[in-house]
Amino acid sequence: MQEFILLGVLVATYLMVIAKRVPALMKSFQYQSFFLSLMALSSGFIEKHADLYFIAFLIVVLKVFIIPRVLYRIAKKINVDENLGLFVNVQLSLVIALLLTYYSGTFAAILGFKHNFISLAITVAFSVIFIGGFLMISRMKAFAQVVGLLVMENGIFLFASSIYGGMPFFVEIAIFFDVFVSVIIMGLFVYRINKFFTHIDVGKLSRLKG
């Protein structure tokens, strides 16, 4: 059962990779977060931890509804072109994403886990992290950086919750609040960057160098 949820997370991540416009990226992110919350629920059900239910609820509220709404609103306000500038085209991105997944699979093998559920979970978690990082690198708009960071945080949570049944409760709450606040701040920044430079193409900030 949990394998299917993990598969869902992975598929949502690939959907993010092939997204060419901002709304598509957001939607895939919402799907990924939804599956993540299902993962947390099922873990909670299996491990019988009460807090995991609460965390799953938090994930749904925050990452599926609130944060995407905040980001949508900012996108509307700055009225920017919906195209996510791609450094690496879709096909190549997909190949790289597959390679990263393979890489995280070998990493799981290096860590010493044989073919079982845990190695699958590690594979998926690390591939989510790497693909989040890859998103930050290969997309021009500042939005991609924000979303990439959120994806990486998702991946870390996935890793932690599948191995250990979740991190200590307070750590989870703290991380959630951190992420929430950082999204607000990043949103502000994107707004500011746009107001100043009239675009959010991070590639054009290259004149700030030593």
Instruction: In angstroms, give the least distance from the CB of 49 to another protein.
Output: 29
Site mask, another protein, residues 114-133, x = CB under 8 A?
----------------x--x
| Nearest by Cα to 52 from 42, 62, 60, 61 | 42
116 residue type, one letter? N
> Could you tell me if 125 and 6 are in contact, meaning their C-beta atoms sit under 8 angstroms apart?
no
CB of 8: closest distance to another protein in angstroms? 25
Residues 6+ apart with CB under 8 A from 113: 119, 122
CA-to-CA distance for 3 and 32, rounded, in angstroms? Answer: 14
Among 7-15, 30-38, 117-125, 137-145, the segment contacting another protein (CB under 8 A): 137-145
- Minimum CB separation of residue 123 from another protein in Å reads 13
Contacts of 74 (CB under 8 A, 6+ apart): 187, 190, 191
Size of the site for another protein (CB under 8 A): 21
Q: Which is nearer to another protein, 109 or 173 (CB)?
A: 109
For residue 32, how far is the Cα from the chain centroid? Answer: 7
State the minimum distance, in angstroms, from the CB of residue 101 to another protein.
13
Binding residues (CB under 8 A) for another protein: these are 87, 103, 107, 110-111, 130, 133-134, 136-138, 140, 145, 202-203, 205-210
